[in-house]
Amino acid sequence: MDWIILYITGMIMTATDMRKEMRIYKTYSFMWWMCCICILLWPVLSCVYLVAWIADKIKEVAR
């Protein structure tokens, strides 16, 4: 449970750092939302890849 809290705070800190570096000060600007989506989307995509990899390994073992 603790690692989830640390992970979320790390993602928020990364997003705010990107916001400062890109000089995006409007909270609801398009680039700000794109940065948030990109930062939060990569773990989802990596989990999908992991599930597909595990399913492929199970199919190989079943042969």
The reported pTM is 0.42
Nearest Cα to Cα of residue 41 among 3, 13, 15: 15
Distance CA 29, CA 36 (A): 11
pLDDT bin (cut points 50, 70, 90) of residue 4 is low
pLDDT bin (cut points 50, 70, 90) of residue 1 is very low
Domain boundaries, the chain: 2-62
CA dist 6 to 11, 35, 42, 47, 59, Å?
Answer: 9, 19, 16, 18, 35
Q: What is the pLDDT of residue 19?
A: 62
22: CB partners within 8 A, 6+ apart: 31, 35
CA dist 20 to 28, 36, 46, Å?
Answer: 14, 13, 27
10-60 pLDDT, tens per residue?
Answer: 777 776 666 666 665 555 667 777 777 777 777 777 778 888 888 888 988
Q: What is the pLDDT of residue 44?
A: 77
